[in-house]
Amino acid sequence: MPKVRRKNVPRAAIEHLALRVRERAVPIEDLQNLAKWLDTDPTVPSGRWFKRFAKIIICGEDELVKTILEDSHSAIGSEVECKRQAGYRIAAVD
């Protein structure tokens, strides 16, 4: 199972995510929780996956985060569920 890539992310992907953050007025709390989750070096399922936060859903494919949906939208793929460990939510479950 791949880990979420945080280095050498394609510029187009970063620009797309930045646009979605602005368009969807992503709350700072969700961005902070996303950053904390990414700091855990999470493992995600191969193929399409998604991770729910309070007001957003992060969608990815393999090691890349692809887009940000509003919590009312439907995501495609395997949900990354988490178990609490050492103060962070980390373990991906298919």
User: Per the domain annotation, does 6 fall within a domain?
Assistant: no
Domain membership of residue 17 (yes or no) is yes
The amino acid present at 90, given as its one-letter code, is: I
Residue type, 89: R
| Residue with tokens 């646009």, as numbered in its chain | 19
Query: Is 4 among the domain residues?
Result: no
- Is residue 44's pLDDT more than 50? yes
Mean pLDDT of 56-84: 92
Expressed as residue numbers, the domain containing 29 is: 11-89
Q: pTM of the full predicted structure? A: 0.83
Question: Residue 36 falls within a domain, yes or no?
Answer: yes
Mean pLDDT to the nearest integer, 62-84: 90
Banded pLDDT at 86 (limits 50, 70, 90): very low
Q: How many CA atoms lie within 13 A of 85 on its CB side?
A: 9
Domain count, the chain: 1
58 in a structural domain: yes
Q: pLDDT, tens digit, for every residue of 23-34? A: 999 999 999 999
Q: Is 32 part of any domain?
A: yes
How much is the pLDDT for 4? 97
